[in-house]
Amino acid sequence: MDTLFELNNFSYSVLILVVVVILKAFVTRLVSHEPLRFFHFYCRQLSNKVNKPENSQQQKKIAGLIAILVTLLPLTIILWLFEDFVAVTELWHALLLYLALGSFGLKSVTKQIAQDLVANQSYQAKQVLSPLTLRDTDKLSPIGISKAAIEVQLLKTLQQGYVVACLYLLFGPLTALCYRLLLEMHYCWNVKLAKYEAFGGAAKALVEIIQWLPVRLFSLLLLMLSLGKNFLLFWRLSKPYFFQLNNNFALQLFALVLEIKLGGVAMYNQHKLRRISFNDLAKQPQVTDIIHANKEIKLVIYLSFIMLISLAIISGVVRPT
């Protein structure tokens, strides 16, 4: 008796995700590109128009929320309506997901930073790191550069990759793209900069709410990889951060897994910001920890893909014909 394997919606979504990830990884190796750089420019220009220095803090908060609404709502409606005119829906979904996912060139960039530090080329390492982070890099020591590179690896992988993939699988490609556009607004209007402290508050709050569940899923998988080592200790030390609306839970776990210190004081636009210090009793990060961090992140991603593909295969419908 023959059997016919039919893919359900979830299986199709996983298949499209895998294909798009492979395609984006391949394209990134050929040429470095960021499809949303024009949207980033738009966000800068928009904030220059509506984020007036003379306005009160409350007015700036309202202006930031309105800026999000007038930007995302029309784009969402247009893209949603346009799908009806697309003959191959899967290709349209793949395109939206491709745009939503961040660049896959982060590994090569952080590897270059590590190589520059090994060669005592701190200035060159700072130049490579600067476009990846909001913080001031010109006065960073090799330890500071290593710490910033590790935090960038984790946070950008989470925000531009893992969260996007989770939203795509749960709610579809349009939701994933809208989140990524909102994330770009958050990057442009980051509250760590004084002029965006009020204006960027709405974007920050929305991003943190959306990221909460995917970041916890990633972090729990990272914790699972420590089974047989310090699993219970890592959970006990990280548990206080679990329900916070930020990425502290992931940063604390990552610091514990790498056995290094993360967080702490950082300079943003010549202003010192005192951040939470994670795993404070551990050693300061070194160059080798940049490579170690990348390996730990890849392990979680590979584990996630294995679990997804397994679920997709199990959920496939098998019908006799």
| Structural domain includes residue 2 | no
How far is 32 from 309, CA to CA, in rounded Å?
28
The answer to whether residues 153 and 251 touch, using CB atoms and an 8 Å cutoff, is: no
> Is residue 40 within 8 Å of residue 142, measured between CB atoms?
no
* pLDDT for res 6: 58
Q: Is residue 147 part of a domain?
A: yes
Query: Which pLDDT tens digits describe the chain residue by residue (321 residues)?
Result: 444 445 678 888 999 999 999 999 998 888 877 888 889 899 999 999 999 989 999 999 999 999 999 999 999 999 999 988 888 899 999 999 999 999 888 888 999 999 999 999 999 999 999 999 998 898 899 999 999 999 999 999 999 999 999 999 999 999 999 999 999 999 999 999 989 999 999 999 999 999 999 999 999 999 999 887 889 999 999 999 999 999 999 999 999 999 999 998 888 888 888 889 999 999 999 999 999 999 999 999 999 999 999 998 887 654 444
**How many domains does one find in the chain?**
1
Residue 296 within any structural domain of the chain: yes
pLDDT score for 31: 80
Per DSSP, the residues of 275-298 read PPEESTTSBPP-HHHHHHHHHHHH
Q: Specify if 133 maps to a domain.
A: yes
Coil, helix or strand at residue 263? strand
Task: Examine residue 269 and state whether it is found in any structural domain, yes or no.
Answer: yes
Residue 174 inside a domain? The answer is: yes
The DSSP symbol for 130 reads G
Q: Supply the DSSP string of 134-186, one letter for each residue.
A: SS--TT--HHHHHHHHHHHHHHHHIIIIIHHHHHHHHH-HHHHHHHHHHHHHH
Q: What was the pLDDT predicted at 208?
A: 96
Q: Count of CB atoms within 10 A of residue 259's CB? A: 13
Q: What range does the domain containing 102 cover?
A: 8-316
- CA angle (261, 180, 155) in 5-degree steps: 5
**What is the residue whose two structure tokens read 């990552």?**
254
Give the C-alpha separation, 13 to 15, whole Å.
Answer: 5
Q: Has residue 34 been placed in a domain? A: yes
**Of the candidates 177, 151, 161, 134, which has an alpha carbon nearest to the alpha carbon of residue 264?**
151
Cα–Cα distance for residue pair 217/162, rounded to 1 Å:
9
Residue 180 confidence (pLDDT): 97
Residues 49, 189 contacting (CB under 8 angstroms): no
- Label residue 77 exposed, middle or buried (CB < 10 Å: 0-12, 13-18, 19+): exposed
In sequence order, the 6+-apart residues with CB closer than 8 A to the CB of 36 are 99, 180, 181, 184
Check: CB of residue 266 under 8 Å from CB of residue 254: no
Tell me whether residue 170 is in a domain. yes
